[in-house]
Each structure stands twice: as C-alpha cells, then as structure tokens.
C-alpha cells in the first residue's frame, strides 16, 4: 500500500528576536500553512508564554491536531544544549537564563520537539528547497545583525563536540576595533553586522547628500543599499568594508574545509552584487589555488520562512529517514 505523504505533517519554528516564523510542512514537502507573528520586547518567562500561546493558536487555527502531526522543529538564534533543549545565557537577551524550551513545549503541547540552530535549519531548507539540491557539501552564511555559519556535508550539517558553534560573527577580525557585545574587541559583527553598517553611515552622514525613505526616522539598511546603488561614496564604503571583512574571514573557512559553494542569506543580501562581488573578490585573493578559482558565492532565493521550513523538514526526516529529501518527485 502506498503511503499517503500528504497525511503526515510537522511544524517548524524559527525563533527570531522580533518575531516567530511558523510553517506546517507535510511529508510530500509541501507547505500547508505559514505565519509570521510578532514577539516584541518580551523576555524571560513572559517570552516563553508568548511562544507557547502563538504555537497553540497556530495548531488550533490550522486544525493540525486532526492530522498525523509528527512533531515540532524549533530553530533558534540563541545557543541551546541541542540534546536537552536548555538555552544558554545569551548576549542577545541578558537575564534569559537556562530555559528548557524543548521540555516546556513538550509538556505544554504534548509534541515531540527537536531543537536546532537557525543557520542549520536554513541549510536543510537550502538543500531540499533551494539552489543546493544536487550538492553534497556547501557553506551557508547568515548576514544580519548577527553573522552565523552552517556547514552542510554528506546529508546533514556539521556540528562540533559542543553546542556552541557557527559563531562566525565573533571571530576577531581587528584587535584594535570596536568592543563587541560578546566581550571581545574587533569581532566581525562590529564591522559587517547590519547594525554596525547602519551606525557607520549614521555617524558620518550628511543628510544633504543622503536620501532616506522616511526623513524623520533613522537610516535603515534599505537606505544604505539604495544610496550605494546610486553611487553614494559613504554607503559604498560601509558596504564594501563589510563585504571585504566577511570575504577575508570566509577565505579561512574555505581554506580549512575545502568546500567551494557558499550560500548567503539574511537582510544584507538585499545589497545583491554590491555585496557578492566584493566578498568573492576577497575570497579569491586569500584562498589558496585552486580553491580561489573554484569557490562560488550565491545569494539564496528562499523566503523568510525557509528556516522554519527546514526545522519542520528535520522532524519529517527523523521520522521517515534520510531518503525523504532525496526522492525526486517530492515537493513538486
């Protein structure tokens, strides 16, 4: 008897600082529902309750309890003990403490829950739904307020011996640079994080020569990118310095791993080829031959729900086996 893949569903979550992305994905790899829900300035126990309330409403609103709901994948920007679901203290949300989000979800919703990093969840989505369907190895880089990296290899993403990994943004790039929120000085994020780019322009801008979408509000990343595309030297300098720093740092990663496909995602990819070309130039300058010739840098074409979809896919694959993502007819 042929298995009805449409009958089996997993829920995927991406927990962001400002929002919660939710996707219901069936075993035929089709999205049955998705939602983006605001989180706001809510922390500690109230934040956990807000997450649980959003999940309850999503499950009920989509009638998912009536289907063969296999479990929930929860991807996060905050480090966890992946096995237990305990959050580590976070520089993003001081005072959060060690919250067992896996245990709390399982207790409140009676759903088996799988925890992963958001960059890893995005890597799974890129492998199943994106431009890396035929690749065995690639590097995924998140370029946003934070800068994270995930390495996909031989069917899954790589992890170290601890649950702190992928923190490319906290690689020290300039020992004389600005102090980073992590306590080091000159981390890559202080040069190439979205907030760092905006701040560099904001601190030096002449409003006479700089166009903003909303003259009363502060400068946004979109403003920086648009002005750079129009030839504004300050905006171009901020973006080029960021791209060069990212490229120089990634060149070390490529030299160590020998993986030549790099996929970029996050808000900074809105800069398009302004970002990609400078970044690729830095990689080619600093990688050894033939890696400097073979390395490709591409901008992901997946949408804002990709990490949530990747989280859901992780649950489905744990249930059905690794072949789920390799079946050519699925997801069409």
CA dist., res. 218 & res. 216, Å (int): 7
* Those residues with Cβ within 8 angstroms of residue 144's Cβ, 6 or more apart along the chain or in another chain: 193, 194, 266, 267, 268
Whether the predicted pLDDT of 214 surpasses 70? no
At 182-201, the pLDDT tens digits run: 899 999 999 999 999 999 99
Query: 37, 59 in Cβ contact below 8 A?
Result: no
Percentage with pLDDT > 70 across the chain: 89
Mean pLDDT of 211-219: 69
Task: State residue 216's pLDDT score.
Answer: 57
Bridge partner list, 157: 152
What pLDDT sits at residue 89?
64
Contacts of residue 74, Cβ cutoff 8 Å, sequence gap at least 6: 13, 15, 85, 101, 102, 105, 113, 114, 115, 116, 311
Cα–Cα distance for residue pair 85/96, rounded to 1 Å? 14
Per-chain mean pLDDT for the chain? 88
Q: Whole-angstrom Cα distance, residue 293 to residue 284?
A: 7
pTM of the model: 0.90
Nearest-angstrom CA–CA distance, 181 and 199: 15
Contact 115, 76 (CB under 8 A): yes
Q: Quick one: which of 166, 142, 185 has its CA closest to 253?
A: 166
Whether 270 contacts 161, CB under 8 Å: no
Q: Check if 5-125+304-326 and 134-299 are the same fold.
A: yes
Domains of the chain by residue range: 5-125+304-326, 134-299
**Residue pair 29/313 in contact by the 8 Å Cβ criterion:** yes
> Which of 46-53's residues contact partners 24+ apart within 8 Å by CB, and which partners?
47/93, 47/96, 48/99, 48/101, 48/104, 51/15, 51/20, 51/101, 51/105, 52/104, 52/105, 52/108, 52/109
Q: pLDDT tens, 142-166?
A: 999 999 999 999 888 888 777 778 8
Cα–Cα distance list, 99 to 46, 49, 159, 169, 311 (Å):
12, 12, 22, 24, 20
pLDDT tens-place string over residues 64-100: 876 689 999 999 887 777 777 777 766 666 666 678 8
Q: How confident is the model at residue 323 (pLDDT cuts 50, 70, 90)?
A: low
| Rounded-to-integer distance, Cα 246 and Cα 114, Å | 31
Which residue from 193, 184, 306 is spatially nearest to 249, judged by alpha carbons? 193
pLDDT of 283 strictly over 70: yes
**pLDDT tens digits, one per residue of 6-23:** 789 999 999 998 999 999
β-strand 147-153 against 296-299: which pairing, if any? unpaired
Superfamily of domain 134-299: ATPase, nucleotide binding domain (3.30.420.40)
Assigned CATH class of 5-125+304-326: alpha beta
Name the token pair of 196.
Answer: 């760092």
């Amino acid at each position: 008897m042929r298995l009805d893949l449409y009958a089996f569903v997993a829920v995927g979550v991406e927990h962001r600082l400002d929002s919660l992305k939710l996707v219901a994905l069936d075993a035929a790899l089709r999205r049955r529902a998705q939602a983006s829900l605001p989180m706001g300035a809510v922390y500690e126990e109230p934040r956990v309750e807000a997450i649980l309330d959003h999940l309850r409403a999503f499950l009920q609103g989509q009638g998912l309890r009536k289907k063969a709901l296999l479990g929930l994948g929860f991807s996060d920007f905050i480090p966890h003990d992946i096995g237990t679901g305990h959050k580590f203290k976070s520089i993003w949300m001081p005072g959060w403490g060690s919250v067992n989000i896996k245990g709390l979800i399982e207790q409140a919703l009676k759903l088996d829950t799988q925890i992963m990093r958001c960059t890893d969840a995005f890597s799974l989505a890129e492998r199943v739904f994106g431009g890396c369907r035929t690749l065995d190895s690639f590097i995924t880089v998140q370029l946003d307020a934070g800068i994270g990296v995930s390495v996909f290899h031989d069917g899954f993403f790589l992890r170290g011996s601890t649950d702190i990994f992928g923190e490319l943004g906290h690689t020290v790039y300039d020992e004389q640079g600005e102090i980073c929120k992590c306590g080091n000085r000159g981390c890559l994020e202080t040069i190439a994080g979205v907030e760092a780019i905006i701040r560099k322009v904001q601190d030096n801008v002449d409003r006479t020569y700089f166009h903003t979408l909303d003259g009363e509000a502060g400068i946004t990343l979109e403003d920086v990118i648009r002005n750079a595309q129009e030839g504004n030297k300050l905006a171009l300098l901020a973006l080029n310095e960021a791209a060069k720093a990212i490229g120089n740092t990634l060149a070390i990663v490529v030299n160590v791993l020998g993986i030549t496909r790099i996929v970029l995602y996050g808000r900074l990819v809105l800069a398009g080829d302004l970002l990609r070309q400078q970044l690729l130039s830095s990689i080619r300058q600093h990688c050894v031959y033939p890696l400097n010739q073979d390395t490709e840098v591409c901008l992901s074409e997946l949408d804002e729900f990709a990490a949530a979809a990747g989280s859901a896919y992780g649950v489905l694959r744990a249930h059905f086996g690794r072949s789920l993502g390799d079946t050519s007819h699925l997801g069409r």
